[in-house]
C-alpha cells in the first residue's frame, strides 16, 4: 500500500472519528452513572483523532522518500487503517441514540462490545503513534509476520538490557528506560497479533459475503432511491389529479396528433398552451389513462412536474434523478450498474452527474417493452437559467431518438433548441366542455349555493364563465371563487356581469374578497400568501401552520395558536392549494405560477415577506432550542411518565436551514439582534444541530452568505469560536462560504486570516469551488495561496475535477496557475484519464497541448485510451488515436532532448512503411494495442462494455483482434462471453483474421464459440456459427463431393428442426422426426427405429440435443413430446457438459424444471464448470425455479470452479430476491 493510499485512509479515519466523538456523549448520557465511561471513551477517540492528524501530515510531508518502504500491500500500517475504519463504523452504529425505552435497556449488553472496541482503538492509537517515527514507520510498513519478528527481537533486547543495568545505581535511569521500552514494545506486539487475527477474519468475511450484504436490505435500496431523488413526485401528481373532474381531457386522447404519438409515428408530443389553460390537468389525465391501459404489460411510466418555486443549483440532476427513480420503482431489482455508480459517488461524496443519470435511464428503459416520460411545465424548469432548460430538452430529444422512449411535454412555448427526432407540436386550449363540466361539478358540490341557484341560473353561470374564460381554465376557477362568495341570486347575477378582463383583474377581485373578511382572517390569508409565495423552498402544510402560529413577541411556544389548515385555505379564497388535507407533509402551493408573478409585482411584497419569514424563523428557533434543552434535561426524570402532548416543533428544520436565505435579501438591522442572541449561545447551536455538534456561528453565517453578520462576529473578542474551527464534517467556515458560492464571505474570512488550505483531511475549499464551477472564487483562493495540487477525495486534485466535469475554462485557469498535469489520484489516474473517461475532447486537446502525457499509466496499467474505450467515448477514442499516431515519434525525440519542453505542437508523421514500426508504436504506452496490468487492450475493454461504435473506431485505428489478455482471452472471447452478437459480427468482418479468431483458445482452452455456448446466449452462438460457415465457404475449393447433396439435405433438416423447436411447433417437430404428433411411428419399424433414434439424439451446431434445445427455448409442448418419445434426460451437451435440467433451470421455466425432475433428471448434476442447475437458476434470477429446486433439497452450498456458491451467482447478477431467499433457507437449515 503506497503512502498516498495510506494517507487517504488515515484522513478518512479522522473524519470518521470526528463523527463518532459527539455520538459517544449523546448516547452515553442517556444512562445513569456514566461519567467515567464518557471520559474514558472520549479520551480514547480524541487521542486517535490527534495522532491520525499528525500521521496524515507526516506521511504527506515526504511521501516520495518513503515510497520504497511500502513493499507490500499487506503492511501492518495498512491493516491498522482498515481495521480501525471498520471498528469506528461499528462503534458509530452502536452509539445511535435510542428513541425508545426498550432500546435503552439493551445498553448494558452493548456496553461490553463498545468497551472492547474502545480497547482496540487504544491499541491502534499506539501503533499509529509508533509509526510517527521514521523507524516505526519503516517497521510497520512490513507484513504482520515480519513486524511480529522485529518487535519480538526488540522486546527481548530491551528486557536483557534492563536485566543488565537494573543493579547498577549509576544506570538506574537507563534501566528504567529499557524496562519502559520493553513494556511498550510488548503492548505493540499484542496489538499486532490481535490485528492480524481480526484483519484475517475481516478479509475472509468481506471476500465471501461483503458484496452480497449490501443487496439484502430494503433500506439500502431506499438509500439509493433517495440519493437519486428525495421526492418521488407523486404528491404533485395527486394534487393536480384531485382537482380534475371526471371526463376532463378525453378529447385529447382522440386527437390525431395524440394517436400518432401513441403508435410511434412521432417520438415526442409537445403540447403548447397559454398560462392557465389546464396543461397540468391534461397531463395528469394522460398519465392515469396510460397507466390503466398498460397496467398488465411490461411498460414503465415516469413523470416530472416542473415547479418555478423549487430552488435547485442542479435542476437537471434533480429532474433526471426523479425520472430514474420512478422507472426503478417499476423494477424488481436495482441494476448492478446503478449500484456501482451509487457506491462510487458515495465514496466521492457527490450526487450523480446528469451524464450518469442519462446513461442509467437509457439502460433501465431498455428493460421495458415501452417507456413513457411526461414533463409538465417545461417553461418552469429553470427560470433563472435558460441553458439548463435547453440541456433538458436536448436530453429528452436524445432519449427519444436513441432509446425509443416516448416523451410528452407541456409548455408555454415550442421546444428550444429544435428537436432532432420525429415530433409533433400541438397548440392546446381548455376545452369548453371541460370547463362546463368543471363549473357544474363545483356548483353541485357547494351546499351553500343549494338554495340560491336554480337550473336557469346554473346554466347562465356555466355559459358566462365558458364564454369569458376564453380557453383559460384558471380564469374559470377564479371566476367561480367570486361566484361562490355571493349569498343571493342578485349577488350572483351582478358577479356574472362583472366577469371581465384577464388574470390580473381576476386576482385583483379575489384580493378584494379577502379584504372583505374579518381582520384576523385577512392577516391569516396575507401571511399565508407571503410564506408560500416567497419561502426559499416549498412548504409542507404542518410547517405553514407552525409558521402562522408563531408570534414575534412571544417568549414561549403556544400550540393553541396553530390555525386549521382548512381555515387557512378558505381564508385565501382559492389562491392556495394543498395536495392532501389529511397529510401534514403535503405541499402547499399557489393555485398557479401566474399568481406568483402577480404577488411579486405588488409594491414591497418581497421585502415584507422576507422580513416576516426571517423574524419568524429566528423566533421559532429560540423556541426550538429552549424546548429541546428542557426536554433533554427532563428525559430520564420522566421516563416512566407519558410523553407530553405538546406538538413537535416541526418548523425547526425549515427555519434552521432557510432563515439565512431570506435574511440575505433584507437589511441586517431588521434581524441582527435576534440572530446574534441565538448564534452567540453555543448550547443553542448544539441543540439545533445535534448531528453536527461542532457547528459554530461562523459556519452558519458563512454558509448563508451573511457578510455583515459574519463581520460582526469576527470583530468581537474571541470566545469559543476560531476562524479555523472544524465542524463534524471536517469543514471550516471558509469551506461553507465556498460550498455555497458566497464570494464576499470567503473574501472576508481570508482577509481575517483564514487559511486557503485548512489543515483538515477533507475536500479543500479550492476543490469545492471547482466542483461548483465558480471561476471567481477559484481565482480568489489561488490569489491567497491555495495549493493547486492538494489531494481531496480519492486523491483527486482540482484539475482532476475540472477535467472530469469537462469545464475547459476552469482547466485553463488551473493550468495557467501551475496545476500539475502529471499528478495522479489514489488509483494513479491523471486529469487526462478523467477527461478521456468522460469523453471531453476539448479538454483532452488542451491538456495534451500543455504538458499532459498520453502514455501515463494508472496503478492498474490503464492509459487514457483505455478509459475512453471502456466508457464508450468514441469521439475521445478517435482523438487519442489520431494524437498518438501523429505524435509518437515526436514523443521519442522530445524525451531524448531534455531542453525541449514536452507538449509543444511538434508533429512528426510515423513512417509506417518501415517494417514493424507501426506495430511497435501501437504497442507502446498510449498506443492502440498497449496492454493494462491484466493484459487487456482498449479493444478488450470496449468489447466488455458492449460499445459497438467504439469497437469499430478502434479497429479502424489499427487495434489488433489477436492480442490475448492475462487470462488468454481475445476480444472475441469477451464478446462471446457477453453474448453480444453485433460486436462478434464486427470483430469477424476481416477475412484474413477470421479463422484465427474463431480457432483461438484461451487459458481454459476454450474457443469463442465454446464461450458463447457456455454463456447460454443463443444469438451470440448463432452469429459465431454463421461466421464460421462463411469462412469455410470462402476457403473451400471447388471439389466434387458425392455426399454433398445428402449432407446439404441433412443440414437443412437440422435447421428446420431447430426452427420448429424454437416456436414450439409439435406438428412440425413430429414430421421431421418421422412420428405422428401422439408419438407413434409409421412404416418399416426396424429401419425407422434406427433413423428415429439418430434424429432424436442428433446434435445441433452448439452440441445440444433436441430436448435440450426445447428446454432452452422454453418450448414445453415439444419438450413433452420428446420425453414421451424417450429422449435421453441425462444426455450432456458438448461442449459445456450441460444436462437437460441445466437448460431448464437457465430458461427460468419452473414447469420445465418439474418435467425434467419428474423424468429422472439428476438434481445436482455438474457442468464442465462445476455448476449445478441451481447455479443456472440463480444466474437468471428465476425465483420460482430456485424455490422449487430448494424444496427438492438441491445443494445450495455447491461450489463451482470459480469457488462461487449459488448465492454468489445471484448476488453478482443483482437478483436480490433470490439472494434473500437463499439466505433465509440457510438460516432455516441452520
By percentage, how much of the chain surpasses pLDDT 70?
Answer: 72
Residue 521 lies in a domain: no
DSSP-derived letter for residue 1075 is B
**Same structural domain, 422 and 457:** no
Residue 58: the pLDDT is 56
1012 shares a domain with 896: no
Query: pTM for this structure?
Result: 0.62
The larger pLDDT score, comparing residue 329 to residue 520, is at 520
Mean pLDDT throughout 892-911? 41
What are the φ/ψ torsions at residue 302 (nearest 5 degrees)?
-125, 150
Residue 528 lies in a domain: no
| CA-wise closest residue to 661 among 618, 605, 597 | 618
Residues 733 and 774 in one domain: no
pLDDT, tens digit, for every residue of 822-845?
999 989 999 999 999 999 999 999
Average confidence (pLDDT) over 935-948? 94
Residue 1171: its pLDDT value, please? 93
* 160 plus 134 within the same structural domain: yes
Whether 1076 and 1092 have beta carbons less than 8 Å apart is answered as: no
Residues 420 and 275 in one domain: yes
Q: Which of 233-247, 515-529, 591-605 has the lowest mean pLDDT?
A: 233-247
Q: Measured between alpha carbons, how far is residue 1199 from residues 396, 1167, 1174, 1175 in Å?
A: 46, 12, 11, 9
Shared domain check, 733 and 852: no
Overall average pLDDT of the 376-395 stretch: 86
Q: Using 50, 70 and 90 to split pLDDT, how confident is the model at 367?
A: confident
**Percent over 90 (pLDDT), the chain:** 36
Question: What's the pLDDT score for residue 201?
Answer: 41
| Whole-number Å distance between alpha carbons of 147 and 150 | 5
Task: Choose one of 188, 213, 238: the last residue of a domain.
Answer: 213
In a domain, 949, yes or no: no
The average pLDDT across 909-913 equals 40
More confident residue, 691 or 231: 691
pLDDT at 912: 38
Per-residue model confidence as pLDDT tens digits over 409-458:
999 888 988 888 889 999 888 888 888 888 888 888 777 777 788 888 88
Is residue 902 pLDDT above 50, yes or no?
no
Same domain, 1099 and 1125: yes
Query: Per residue in 479-537, pLDDT tens?
Result: 887 787 777 888 888 888 877 777 788 888 888 888 888 999 999 999 999 999 999 99
- pLDDT value of residue 99: 46
Contacts of 280 (CB under 8 A, 6+ apart): 240, 305, 376, 377, 410
Cell numbers for 1203, please give them: 469457488
Q: How does pLDDT run across 121-155, given as a tens digit for each residue? A: 666 666 566 555 545 555 555 555 565 665 566 56
d(Cα 599, Cα 601) in Å, to the nearest integer? 5
For range 564-590, the mean pLDDT: 88
Each residue's pLDDT tens digit, 283-301: 999 999 999 999 888 899 9
- Residue 143 contacts by C-beta under 8 Å, 6 or more apart in sequence? 72, 74, 75, 76
For 539, the enclosing helix (H) or strand (E) is strand 539-540
Give the pLDDT score at 155: 60
Contact assessment for residue 197 and residue 247, using Cβ atoms and an 8 Å cutoff: no
Q: At what angle do helices 874-896 and 831-838 cross, to 10 degrees?
A: 150
Same domain, 366 and 449: no
CATH of the domain at 288: 3.40.50.300
Q: In this structure, is residue 721 part of a structural domain?
A: yes
Is pLDDT of 189 > 80?
no
Does 1196 fall in a domain? yes
Partnered with residue 370 across adjacent β-strands are 299
- Write down which residue in 166, 186, 213 finishes a domain: 213
**CATH code for the domain of 899:** 1.25.40.20
Between 256 and 1025, the higher pLDDT residue: 256
Instruction: Answer whether residue 375 shows pLDDT above 50.
Output: yes
* 419 and 327, same domain (yes or no): yes
Report the pLDDT value the prediction gives residue 167, as an integer from 0 to 100. 56
Q: Which of 812, 754, 817 is nearest to 787 (CA)?
A: 817
Instruction: Give per-residue pLDDT as tens, 736-770.
Output: 999 999 999 999 999 999 999 887 767 899 999 99
CA–CA gap between residue 721 and residue 177 (Å, rounded): 41
Q: All 3 cell numbers of residue 1044?
A: 454433398
The pLDDT assigned to 1156 comes to 96
595 compared with 162, residue with greater pLDDT: 595
| Grid cell of 962 as nine digits | 489477436
One DSSP character per residue, 359-378 reads HHHHHHHTTSSEEEEEEE-G
Burial class (CB in 10 A: 0-12, 13-18, 19+), 854: buried
Mean pLDDT of 181-210: 49
Give the residue with greater pLDDT, 563 vs 1061. 563
Joined grid coordinates for residue 286: 394522460
**Cβ distance 1025 to 1101 under 8 Å?**
yes
Q: Is residue 230 part of a domain?
A: yes
Taking alpha carbons only, the member of 110, 51, 111 closest to residue 81 is 51
State yes or no: pLDDT of 323 exceeds 50: yes
Mean pLDDT across the stretch 251-264? Answer: 91
112 located within any domain:
yes
Note down the domain range covering 619: 603-636+656-710+717-749
pLDDT digits (tens, 9 = 90+) for 1046-1075: 445 555 667 788 888 888 889 988 888 888
Decide: residue 1091, CB within 10 A, 0-12 exposed, 13-18 middle, 19+ buried: middle
Query: Is there a single domain that holds both residue 471 and residue 359?
Result: no
| Per-residue pLDDT, 852 | 94
pLDDT band of residue 1022 (cuts 50, 70, 90) is confident
Tell me what pLDDT residue 673 has: 94
Residue 571 in any domain: the answer is: no
The confidence score (pLDDT) of residue 72 equals 41
pLDDT above 90 for 814? yes
pLDDT tens, position by position, 675-727: 999 998 999 999 999 988 899 999 999 999 999 999 999 987 765 458 988 88
Same domain for 767 and 910, yes or no, is: no
Indicate if 631 and 703 belong to the same structural domain: yes
pLDDT value at 910 more than 50: no
Mean pLDDT across the chain, nearest whole number? 79
pLDDT value of position 1190: 94
- The stretch 232-253 carries a mean pLDDT of 80
With bands split at pLDDT 50, 70 and 90, how would you rate the model's confidence at 1042?
Answer: very low
- Tens digit of each residue's pLDDT (9 = 90 or more) over 47-97: 666 666 665 665 555 444 444 443 344 555 565 666 666 666 666 655 554
Strands 587-590 and 539-540, bridge-based pairing: antiparallel
Domain count, the chain: 8
User: Which residue, of 775, 798, 818, is where some domain finishes?
Assistant: 818
30 band by pLDDT with thresholds 50, 70 and 90: very low
CA dist 981 to 3, 1001, 1020, 1055, 1111, Å? 45, 19, 4, 19, 22
Could you read off the pLDDT of 1105-1150 as tens digits, one per residue? Answer: 899 989 988 889 999 999 999 999 999 988 778 999 999 998 889 9
Cα within 13 Å of Cα(447), Cβ side: 0
| pLDDT exceeds cutoff 70 at 12 | no
**pLDDT exceeds 60 at position 909:** no
Higher pLDDT: 432 or 635? It is 432
In the numeric block, the cell 458515495 is attached to: 346
Amino acid at each position: 500500500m503506497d503512502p498516498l493510499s495510506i494517507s487517504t485512509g488515515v484522513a478518512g479515519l479522522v473524519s470518521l472519528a470526528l463523527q463518532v466523538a459527539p455520538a459517544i456523549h449523546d448516547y452515553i448520557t442517556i444512562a445513569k452513572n456514566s461519567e467515567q465511561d464518557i471520559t474514558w471513551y472520549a479520551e480514547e477517540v480524541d487521542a486517535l483523532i490527534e495522532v491520525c492528524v499528525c500521521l496524515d501530515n507526516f506521511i504527506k510531508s515526504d511521501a516520495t522518500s518513503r515510497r520504497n518502504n511500502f513493499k507490500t500491500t499487506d503492511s501492518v500500517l495498512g491493516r491498522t487503517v482498515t481495521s480501525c475504519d471498520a471498528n469506528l463504523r461499528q462503534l458509530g452504529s452502536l452509539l445511535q441514540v435510542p428513541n425508545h425505552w426498550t432500546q435503552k435497556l439493551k445498553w448494558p449488553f452493548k456496553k461490553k462490545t463498545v468497551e472492547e472496541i474502545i480497547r482496540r482503538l487504544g491499541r491502534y492509537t499506539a501503533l499509529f503513534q509508533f509509526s510517527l517515527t521514521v523507524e516505526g514507520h519503516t517497521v510497520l510498513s512490513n507484513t504482520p509476520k515480519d513486524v511480529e519478528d522485529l518487535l519480538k527481537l526488540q522486546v527481548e533486547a530491551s528486557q536483557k538490557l534492563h536485566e543488565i543495568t537494573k543493579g547498577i545505581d549509576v544506570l538506574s535511569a537507563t534501566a528504567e528506560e529499557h524496562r519502559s521500552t520493553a513494556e511498550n514494545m510488548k503492548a505493540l506486539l499484542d496489538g499486532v497479533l490481535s490485528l492480524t487475527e481480526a484483519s484475517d477474519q475481516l478479509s475472509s468475511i468481506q471476500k465471501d459475503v461483503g458484496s452480497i450484504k449490501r443487496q439484502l436490505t430494503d433500506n439500502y435500496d431506499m438509500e439509493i432511491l433517495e440519493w437519486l431523488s428525495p421526492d418521488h413526485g407523486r404528491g404533485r401528481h395527486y394534487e393536480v389529479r384531485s382537482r380534475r373532474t371526471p371526463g376532463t381531457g378525453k378529447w385529447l386522447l382522440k386527437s390525431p396528433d395524440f394517436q400518432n404519438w401513441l403508435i410511434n409515428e412521432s417520438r415526442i408530443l409537445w403540447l403548447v398552451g397559454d398560462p392557465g389553460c389546464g396543461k397540468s390537468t391534461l397531463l395528469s389525465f394522460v398519465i392515469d389513462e396510460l397507466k390503466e391501459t398498460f397496467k398488465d404489460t411490461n411498460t414503465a411510466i415516469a413523470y416530472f412536474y416542473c415547479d418555478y418555486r423549487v430552488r435547485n443549483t442542479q435542476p437537471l440532476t434533480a429532474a433526471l434523478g426523479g425520472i430514474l427513480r420512478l422507472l426503478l420503482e417499476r423494477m424488481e431489482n436495482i441494476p448492478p450498474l446503478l449500484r456501482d455508480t451509487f457506491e462510487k459517488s458515495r465514496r466521492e461524496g457527490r450526487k450523480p452527474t446528469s451524464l450518469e443519470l442519462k446513461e442509467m435511464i437509457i439502460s433501465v428503459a431498455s428493460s421495458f417493452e415501452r417507456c413513457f416520460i411526461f414533463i409538465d411545465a417545461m417553461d418552469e424548469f429553470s427560470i433563472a437559467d435558460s441553458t439548463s432548460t435547453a440541456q433538458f430538452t436536448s436530453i429528452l430529444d436524445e432519449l427519444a431518438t436513441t432509446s425509443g422512449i416516448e416523451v410528452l411535454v407541456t409548455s408555454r412555448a415550442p421546444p428550444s433548441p429544435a428537436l432532432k427526432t420525429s415530433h409533433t407540436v400541438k397548440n392546446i386550449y381548455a376545452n369548453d366542455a371541460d370547463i362546463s363540466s368543471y363549473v357544474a361539478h363545483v356548483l353541485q358540490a357547494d351546499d351553500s349555493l343549494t338554495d340560491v341557484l336554480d337550473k336557469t341560473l346554473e346554466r347562465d353561470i356555466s355559459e358566462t364563465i365558458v364564454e369569458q374564460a376564453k380557453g383559460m381554465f384558471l380564469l374559470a376557477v377564479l371566476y367561480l371563487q367570486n361566484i361562490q362568495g355571493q349569498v343571493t341570486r342578485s349577488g350572483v347575477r351582478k358577479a356574472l356581469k362583472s366577469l371581465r378582463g384577464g388574470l390580473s383583474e381576476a386576482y385583483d377581485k379575489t384580493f378584494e374578497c379577502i379584504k372583505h373578511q374579518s381582520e384576523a382572517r385577512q392577516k391569516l390569508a396575507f401571511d399565508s400568501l407571503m410564506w408560500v409565495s416567497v419561502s426559499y423552498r416549498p412548504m409542507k402544510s404542518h410547517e405553514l401552520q407552525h409558521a402562522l402560529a408563531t408570534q414575534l413577541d412571544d417568549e414561549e411556544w403556544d400550540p393553541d395558536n396553530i390555525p386549521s389548515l382548512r381555515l387557512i385555505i378558505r381564508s385565501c379564497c382559492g389562491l392556495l392549494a394543498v395536495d392532501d388535507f389529511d397529510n401534514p407533509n403535503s405541499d402547499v402551493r399557489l393555485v398557479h405560477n401566474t399568481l406568483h408573478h402577480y404577488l411579486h409585482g405588488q409594491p414591497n411584497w418581497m421585502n415584507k415577506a422576507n422580513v416576516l419569514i426571517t423574524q419568524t424563523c429566528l423566533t421559532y428557533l429560540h423556541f426550538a432550542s429552549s424546548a429541546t434543552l428542557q426536554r433533554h434535561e427532563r428525559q430520564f426524570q420522566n421516563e416512566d411518565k407519558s410523553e407530553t402532548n405538546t406538538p413537535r416543533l416541526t418548523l425547526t428544520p425549515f427555519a434552521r436551514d432557510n432563515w439565512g436565505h431570506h435574511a440575505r435579501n433584507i437589511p441586517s438591522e431588521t434581524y441582527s439582534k435576534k440572530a446574534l442572541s441565538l448564534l452567540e449561545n453555543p448550547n443553542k447551536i448544539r441543540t439545533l444541530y445535534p448531528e453536527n455538534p461542532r457547528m459554530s456561528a461562523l459556519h452558519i453565517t458563512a454558509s448563508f452568505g451573511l457578510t455583515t453578520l459574519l463581520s460582526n462576529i469576527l470583530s468581537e473578542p474571541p470566545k469559543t469560536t476560531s476562524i479555523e474551527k472544524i465542524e463534524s464534517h471536517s469543514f471550516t467556515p471558509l469551506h461553507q462560504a465556498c460550498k455555497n458560492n458566497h464570494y464576499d464571505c470567503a473574501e472576508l474570512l481570508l482577509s481575517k486570516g483564514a487559511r486557503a488550505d485548512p489543515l483538515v483531511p477533507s475536500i479543500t475549499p479550492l476543490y469545492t469551488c471547482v466542483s461548483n464551477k465558480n471561476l471567481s472564487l477559484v481565482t480568489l483562493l489561488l490569489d491567497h495561496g491555495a495549493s493547486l495540487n492538494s489531494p481531496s477525495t480519492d486523491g483527486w486534485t482540482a484539475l482532476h475535477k475540472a477535467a472530469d466535469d469537462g469545464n475547459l475554462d476552469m482547466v485553463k485557469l488551473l493550468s495557467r496557475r501551475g496545476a500539475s498535469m502529471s499528478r495522479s489520484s489514489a488509483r494513479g489516474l491523471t486529469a487526462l484519464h478523467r477527461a478521456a473517461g468522460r469523453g471531453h475532447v476539448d479538454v483532452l486537446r488542451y491538456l495534451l497541448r500543455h504538458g499532459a502525457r498520453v502514455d501515463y499509466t494508472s496503478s492498474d496499467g490503464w492509459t487514457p485510451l483505455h478509459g475512453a474505450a471502456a466508457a464508450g467515448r468514441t469521439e475521445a477514442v478517435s482523438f487519442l488515436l489520431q494524437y498518438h499516431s501523429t505524435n509518437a515519434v515526436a514523443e521519442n525525440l522530445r524525451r531524448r532532448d531534455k531542453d525541449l519542453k514536452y507538449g509543444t505542437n511538434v508533429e512528426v508523421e510515423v513512417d509506417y512503411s518501415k517494417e514493424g514500426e507501426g506495430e511497435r508504436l501501437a504497442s507502446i504506452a498510449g498506443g492502440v494495442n498497449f496492454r493494462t496490468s491484466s493484459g487487456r487492450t482498449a479493444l478488450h475493454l470496449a468489447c466488455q462494455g458492449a460499445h459497438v461504435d467504439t469497437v469499430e473506431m478502434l479497429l479502424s485505428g489499427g487495434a489488433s483482434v489477436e492480442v490475448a489478455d492475462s487470462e488468454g482471452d481475445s476480444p472475441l472471447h469477451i464478446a462471446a462471453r457477453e453474448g453480444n452478437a453485433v460486436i462478434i459480427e464486427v470483430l469477424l468482418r476481416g477475412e484474413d483474421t477470421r479463422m484465427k479468431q474463431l480457432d483461438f483458445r484461451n487459458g481454459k482452452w476454450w474457443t469463442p464459440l465454446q464461450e458463447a455456448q457456455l454463456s447460454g446466449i443463443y444469438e451470440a452462438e448463432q452469429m459465431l456459427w454463421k461466421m464460421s460457415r462463411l469462412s469455410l465457404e470462402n476457403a473451400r475449393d471447388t471439389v466434387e463431393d458425392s455426399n454433398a447433396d445428402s449432407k446439404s439435405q441433412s443440414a437443412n433438416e437440422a435447421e428446420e428442426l431447430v426452427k420448429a423447436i424454437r416456436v414450439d411447433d409439435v406438428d412440425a417437430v413430429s414430421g421431421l422426426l418421422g412420428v405422428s404428433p401422439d408419438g407413434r411411428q409409421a412404416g418399416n419399424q426396424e429401419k425407422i427405429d434406427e433413423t428415429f433414434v439418430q434424429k432424436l439424439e442428433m446434435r445441433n451446431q452448439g452440441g445440444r440435443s433436441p430436448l435440450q434445445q426445447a428446454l432452452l427455448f422454453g418450448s414445453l409442448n415439444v419438450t413433452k413430446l420428446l420425453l414421451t418419445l424417450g429422449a435421453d434426460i441425462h444426455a450432456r451437451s458438448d461442449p459445456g457438459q450441460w444436462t437437460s435440467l441445466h437448460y431448464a433451470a437457465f430458461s427460468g421455466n419452473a414447469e420445465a424444471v418439474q418435467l425434467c425432475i419428474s423424468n429422472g433428471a439428476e438434481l445436482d448434476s455438474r457442468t464442465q464448470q462445476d455448476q449445478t442447475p441451481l447455479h443456472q437458476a440463480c444466474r437468471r434470477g428465476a425465483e420460482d425455479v430456485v424455490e422449487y429446486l430448494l424444496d427438492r433439497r438441491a445443494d445450495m452450498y455447491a461450489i463451482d470452479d470459480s469457488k462461487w456458491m449459488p448465492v454468489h451467482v445471484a448476488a453478482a447478477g443483482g437478483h436480490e430476491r433470490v439472494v434473500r431467499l437463499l439466505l433465509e433457507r440457510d438460516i432455516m437449515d441452520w
